[in-house]
Chain A
Amino acid sequence: MTRHIVAAVGEIPENGSKLVKVKGRPVALFHVDGSYFAISNVCPHEGGSLCHGKLVGLVQSSEPGVYEHSRPNEMLQCPWHGWEFDIRTGQSWCDPDSIKARAYVVSVEDGAELAKGPFVAETFPVSVENQYVLIEMK
């Protein structure tokens, strides 16, 4: 497993996204409430670019006429057909057993730590004063 530096902390605004490429694979990186989440950019349905998706809350209903809104900005709606994925797991909300957008482990590290390696940052300048977002990928 290799960890890849893909963004600097502060670079992606709150509830914003960034399309990154790790080992040639497009990955959508999201910043929600101080945490970072990474999910394969290709929607498993028809290939919509998930980094253009909309972050919404989870709306549930125990019966008609009763609505419950929770987990603000933790559900990702594909920009094309609106399929929803749990941003923490990549699981499809409607069909969690068979459909999943691949999610990756994300961490935040200090530049000073990264300077020691062994991280992959060929295309990303790292300065010791900043913090960085890393994605784990084999």
Chain B
Amino acid sequence: MSTSTLVRAATPPAARLRLVDCDIHPTVRSMKDLHPFLSAQWREHLDSFGQRFRQAFGGATAYPKATPALARRDSWPADGSPPGSDLEMMQRQHLDANGIDRGMLFPLFPRALDERNIDCAHAVCAAINDWQVAEWTSKEPRLKATITVMAEDADGAVAEIERCAKNPAFAQVALVTRPIEPLGRKRYWRIYEAAAYHGLPLGLHNSGNNGHAVTGGGAPSFYFEEHQGVALSMQAMATSFVLEGVPQRIPDLKIVIVEGGFGWAAPLGWRMDSFFDRFRGEVPHLKMKPSEYLRRNFWWTTQPMEEPEQPEHLRAMIDWMGWDRIVFASDYPHWDSDDPRFAFKIRLNDQERQNIFAGNAEAIYGERLA
């Protein structure tokens, strides 16, 4: 299709609030982009064998997405390389056009959070981490990198956090959100202790395939159905964290739930609290009501924006969860990304806007966002 590009003027910096985007997806043109960051052994291994995931068709997503490369149709670079692979285009189309001051990189392609070969997973995760620094954050200081780790082997994950933590380019730690066991399980705790020790929040973006249906209610037929299931899987993850006692054991652990919806956050707390008196003997390690852990240790990103029929109901939803619990994310360049100018269909006062678009993220990430 032949098109002309809509040119939007960048907002002058003095006239606007700061803006932190907690979910931007950089992409490799191909896995060969990682070669400079891999040993000869792993380059040859990947060229010969490829990667292994708990699904058919290793190079694909589990469900066909709504658009090619699940991307905005206007985000393909002119040379046909994948959306999110061209820094200059990301700067022009997103960072400059939307006045983004800090953007959190979250690599989904390349993917290694749920690679089954443990050593290969650690090697590719490390390459993804080095690639973010070399190709993105060192060239564009507005961008911050995510330490990706393969969680099923805590030793390797902790070693990778230790390797990267001293580099201020990194602002958070990412693990797969659909692991072999729920993320609250003890086998993963060392990873959380390492992250908290280094002041790194967990950025948990829906990702990965553990071989089970996303819903717990059986395998979806449609991408639409899978897309709904994502929020359910994130609730299961948050419930596991709380009830296994992770935030009780590691009180300063920060958990940012990315692209998993937020409309469920408050009702999940209510539901857990309402049964807490009945079940507390089963989980005596919990010293506070479940909702108190949710309100202390968890944050949620806005995208994909909840869009109730009555826009004002959005205000009630945020009132329930707390205006300090929610941070803006665009999901650029994916098809369901949100534009910071239009994402909120309700009027926000200056303080609310400041908190959601920058202040809350700055409180979570602190000097890691500097």
Residues of A within 8 A of B (CB): 12-13, 15-19, 26, 41, 45-49, 51-55, 77, 79-82
Contacts and interface: CB of A to CB of B under 8 A. Distances in A.
Closest 9 pairs (CB-CB, A-B):
A79-B73, A52-B74, A19-B4, A49-B6, A16-B2, A46-B342, A79-B74, A47-B342, A46-B339
B4 A18 contact: yes
Contact of A17 (B3, B67, B335, B339): B3
Interface string B147-184: 00000000000000000000000000000000000000
Interface residues of B, number: 19
Contact of B4 (A51, A77, A79): A51
Nearest to A29: B4
Given A45-B342, A48-B72, A77-B73, 12 more contacts: A16-B1, A19-B4, A19-B6, A46-B342, A47-B342, A51-B3, A52-B73, A79-B72, A79-B73, A80-B337, A80-B339, A81-B335
B349 interface: no
Interface of B: 1-6, 66-67, 72-74, 335-339, 341-343
A44 to B, nearest CB: 10
B288 to A, nearest CB: 39
B73 A53 contact: yes
Contacts of B1: 15-17, 52, 54-55
Contacts of A53: 73
A81 B3 contact: no
23 contacts: A16-B1, A17-B2, A17-B3, A18-B2, A18-B3, A19-B4, A19-B5, A26-B6, A45-B342, A46-B339, A47-B341, A47-B342, A48-B74, A51-B6, A52-B6, A52-B73, A53-B73, A55-B1, A79-B74, A81-B335, A82-B66, A82-B67, A82-B335
A16 B2 CA distance: 5
A49 B74 contact: yes
A82 B5 CA distance: 18
Contacts of A46: 338-339, 342-343
A26 B6 CA distance: 8
A41 B4 CA distance: 11
Contact of A81 (B2, B5, B336): B336
B82 to A, nearest CB: 16
A10 to B, nearest CB: 12
A12 B1 CA distance: 9
Contacts of A13: 2
Contacts of B66: 82
Q: With a 10 A CB-CB cut-off, give which of B3, B67, B336, B342 has the most chain A CB atoms.
A: B3
A21 B64 CA distance: 36
Nearest to A77: B73
Nearest to A13: B2
Nearest to A49: B6
Nearest to A81: B336
A51 to B, nearest CB: 5
